[in-house]
C-alpha cells in the first residue's frame, strides 16, 4: 500500500514541475527592446525565456518597415546621447560576431525651415537642442546655411530661411535583421524562445510570478514586460491612458530617372512648421528605385488591435500633396507601397522603465514615441543588468 502512495506522490511532484517550470527571468515581448534584453540576458548564465505573441520579426508591432534612423545628438534629451553611442558600439559588436550588417553609416541631416519654432517628441526647439547636444557631447557635425546645403543635396528644396545640421556618424538600422539576429544569438546562448504564444495573465505566487499563456503556466523570479503597445494589456485601467497608440504610415516613392542618385543620400529629418505633424523624414534608396519617406501623426487609436492597417489611394495622394510635393525633388508622385506601423506615445515622449504596480519583481519598459529603436541595444543591456542584479 505504501509503495503506490509513494509513486503517486512522486508522480504529483513531477507533474507539478511539468506544469510550473521555473525560470530566473522571463521577457514578455521580443521586439526591439525585448530581443536586445534577451540577447544580453542569455550571456548571464541564468535560466531565461523569451515569449512573443507573434513570430518576431513581424509586421504587427512598432519595429518593421525596412529601416530606422540612428543619430547621436538626440534632440529628445541630452541623457539619451550616451545610450545612442553605446548602441552603436553594440551593433558593431554583433556585426563582428555574426557578419550580419545591421547598421549603415550614411551621415544624417536635420533640416529646419527656419520660419517657425518647432518641437519634436516633446522637445521644443528640437533643431537648436540637437546642435547644442552635438557640441556638448562631442558629436562630429557641421552646420550649413540653405544655399550651401542645397548645393550639396539638391533633392531638398529648403527655404532660404532654412539651415541644416549634418551629423557624420548618423545612418540607418535594419530593424527586422537586428531583432532576428539578437534572437538567434540568444537561442545559441541557451535562452528558450516561445513564439505565437501570447501571455494572458500575470499573478503573484509566493515570491515568484506566475505567468499564464495557452502553453500552460510557468513561474519566474523576475519578469520584464517589453510588449510595445500591448503594454496596456498589463496595466490597470487608470494607467492605460499614459500610453497613446498612434498610427504611422511609411511610404515608398518612385525615383525619377537620372535626376538624383538617391542611393548616396544621407538619412534626413525635416521640421517645417509649428505642428508636430509638420515633419517628414526619409532614407537613402536601398533598391535604387524607390525612396522611403514618413511623416508623424499623433491621433490616439487606444490599442494596437484597433489600428486601421490599410492605406487607401486617397491617403497616399494626400501624403504626396501635403508633405512631399515641392519639398523633395527627383521623385515621382506615385506611392508604390505603404506600410502601417504605430508609435506608443507618452506625454513627455520619454521612456518608461518602472516596476509594475504591486509586483516589484515585474518591470515594465516602453521605448516610446517614435525614437526608441536606435537606443534599443544599449537599453537592453541596461535592463539585463538590472534584472540580473539581486
Ligand atoms: C513608423 C515608425 C518609424 C520609426 N522610426 C524610428 C527611427 O527612425 N528611429 C528610432 O530610433 N526609432 C524609430 N521608431 C520607434 C521604434 O521603432 C520603436 O520605439 C521600437 O521599435 C519599439 O520597440 P518595442 O520593443 O517597444 O516594441 P515592439 O517592437 O512592437 O515589440 C513588442 C513585442 O511584444 C509582443 N507582445 C505584445 N503583447 C504580448 C503578449 N501579451 N505576450 C507576448 N508577447 C507580446 C509583440 O508581438 C511585439 O513583438 C519608429 C517607429 C515607427 C512605428
pLDDT digits (tens, 9 = 90+) for 310-338: 999 999 999 999 999 999 999 999 899 99
User: Which of 27, 36, 62 is the pocket-test mutation for ligand 1 (most atoms within 8 Å of CB)?
Assistant: 62
State the distance from the centre of ligand 1 to the C-alpha of 343, rounded, in angstroms.
Answer: 8
Q: What is the per-residue pLDDT across 252-309, written as a single tens digit (0 to 9) for each?
A: 999 998 879 999 999 999 999 988 899 999 999 999 999 999 999 999 999 999 999 9
As annotated, the residues of the chain forming the CATH 3.30.9.10 domain(s) are 68-173+244-345
The whole-number pLDDT of residue 18 equals: 47
State the distance from the centre of ligand 1 to the C-alpha of 278, rounded, in angstroms.
Answer: 23
pTM of the full structure: 0.94
| Rounded Cα distance, 116 and 119, in Å | 10
The per-residue DSSP string of 335-367 comes to: EEEEEEEEEEE-TT---EEEEETTEEEEEEEE-
State the distance from the centre of ligand 1 to the C-alpha of 215, rounded, in angstroms.
Answer: 24
Handedness of CA 194, 200, 206, 207 (dihedral sign): positive
User: Which of 197, 209, 228, 298 is the pocket-test mutation for ligand 1 (most atoms within 8 Å of CB)?
Assistant: 228
State the distance from the centre of ligand 1 to the C-alpha of 322, rounded, in angstroms.
Answer: 27
| Rounded Cα distance, 374 and 143, in Å | 23
CA torsion angle 258 155 120 74 (round to 10): 80
Give CA 34 to chain center in angstroms.
10
With cell 503556466, the residue in question is: 217
| Rounded Cα distance, 157 and 181, in Å | 38
Q: Which atom of ligand 1 is nearest to the CA of 342?
A: 53
Q: What is the mean pLDDT of the chain?
A: 94
Give CA 207 to chain center in angstroms.
32
Query: 16-61+176-238+353-388 is classed in which CATH architecture?
Result: 3-Layer(bba) Sandwich (3.50)
Q: Are β-strands 216-225 and 359-366 bridged in parallel, bridged antiparallel, or unpaired?
A: parallel
Main-chain phi, psi angles of 4, to 5 degrees: -60, -35
The whole-number pLDDT of residue 363 equals: 98
Q: What is the per-residue pLDDT across 173-200, written as a single tens digit (0 to 9) for each?
A: 999 999 999 999 999 999 999 999 999 9
As annotated, the residues of the chain forming the CATH 3.50.50.60 domain(s) are 16-61+176-238+353-388
Provide residues with CB under 6 Å of ligand 1: 28-34, 51-54, 56, 61-63, 65, 68-69, 198-199, 226-228, 230, 233, 248, 250, 294, 341-343, 367, 370-374
Mean pLDDT of 105-121: 88
| Rounded Cα distance, 291 and 283, in Å | 7
> Grid coordinates representing 196?
505565437
| Rounded Cα distance, 134 and 81, in Å | 9
State the distance from the centre of ligand 1 to the C-alpha of 369, rounded, in angstroms.
Answer: 10
Longest dimension (CA), the chain: 95
| Rounded Cα distance, 66 and 286, in Å | 9
Confidence of residue 375 (pLDDT cuts 50, 70, 90): very high
Confidence of residue 119 (pLDDT cuts 50, 70, 90): confident
State the distance from the centre of ligand 1 to the C-alpha of 33, rounded, in angstroms.
Answer: 8
Query: 68-173+244-345 is classed in which CATH architecture?
Result: 2-Layer Sandwich (3.30)
Q: What is the per-residue pLDDT across 67-85, written as a single tens digit (0 to 9) for each?
A: 999 999 999 999 999 999 9
Q: What is the per-residue pLDDT across 129-138, written as a single tens digit (0 to 9) for each?
A: 999 999 999 9
> Grid coordinates representing 106?
550614411
Amino acid at each position: 500500500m505504501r509503495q503506490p502512495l509513494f509513486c503517486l506522490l512522486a508522480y504529483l511532484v513531477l507533474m507539478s514541475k511539468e506544469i510550473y517550470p521555473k525560470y530566473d527571468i522571463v521577457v514578455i515581448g521580443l521586439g526591439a527592446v525585448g530581443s536586445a534584453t534577451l540577447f544580453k540576458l542569455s550571456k548571464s548564465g541564468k535560466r531565461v525565456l523569451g515569449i512573443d505573441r507573434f513570430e518576431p520579426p513581424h509586421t504587427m508591432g512598432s519595429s518593421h518597415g525596412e529601416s530606422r534612423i540612428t543619430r547621436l545628438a538626440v534632440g529628445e534629451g541630452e541623457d539619451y546621447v550616451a545610450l545612442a553611442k553605446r548602441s552603436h558600439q553594440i551593433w558593431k559588436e554583433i556585426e563582428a560576431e555574426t557578419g550580419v550588417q545591421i547598421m549603415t553609416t550614411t551621415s544624417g541631416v536635420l533640416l529646419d525651415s527656419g520660419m517657425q519654432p518647432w518641437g519634436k517628441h516633446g522637445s521644443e526647439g528640437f533643431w537648436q537642442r540637437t546642435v547644442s547636444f552635438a557640441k556638448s557631447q562631442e558629436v562630429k557635425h557641421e552646420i550649413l546655411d540653405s544655399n550651401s546645403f542645397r548645393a550639396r543635396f539638391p533633392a531638398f528644396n529648403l527655404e532660404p530661411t532654412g539651415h541644416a545640421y549634418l551629423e557624420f556618424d548618423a545612418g540607418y538600422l535594419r530593424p527586422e535583421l537586428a531583432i532576428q539576429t539578437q534572437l538567434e544569438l540568444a537561442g545559441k546562448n541557451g535562452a528558450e524562445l516561445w513564439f505565437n504564444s501570447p501571455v494572458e495573465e500575470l499573478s503573484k505566487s509566493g515570491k515568484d510570478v506566475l505567468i499564464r499563456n495557452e502553453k500552460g503556466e510557468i513561474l519566474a523570479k523576475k519578469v520584464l514586460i517589453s510588449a510595445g503597445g500591448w503594454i496596456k494589456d498589463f496595466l490597470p485601467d487608470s494607467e492605460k491612458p499614459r500610453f497613446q497608440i498612434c498610427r504611422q504610415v511609411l511610404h515608398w516613392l518612385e525615383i525619377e530617372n537620372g535626376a538624383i542618385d538617391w542611393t548616396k543620400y544621407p538619412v534626413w529629418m525635416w521640421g517645417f512648421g509649428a505642428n508636430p505633424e509638420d515633419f517628414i523624414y526619409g532614407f537613402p534608396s536601398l533598391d535604387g528605385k524607390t525612396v522611403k519617406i514618413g511623416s508623424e501623426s499623433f491621433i490616439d487609436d487606444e490599442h494596437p488591435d484597433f489600428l486601421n492597417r490599410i492605406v487607401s489611394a486617397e491617403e497616399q495622394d494626400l501624403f504626396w500633396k501635403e508633405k512631399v510635393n515641392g519639398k523633395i525633388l527627383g521623385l515621382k508622385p506615385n506611392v508604390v507601397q505603404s506600410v502601417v506601423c504605430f508609435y506608443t506615445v507618452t506625454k513627455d515622449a520619454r521612456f518608461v522603465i518602472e516596476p509594475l504596480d504591486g509586483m516589484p519583481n515585474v518591470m515594465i519598459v516602453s521605448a516610446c514615441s517614435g525614437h526608441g529603436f536606435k537606443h534599443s541595444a544599449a537599453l537592453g543591456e541596461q535592463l539585463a543588468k538590472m534584472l540580473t542584479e539581486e
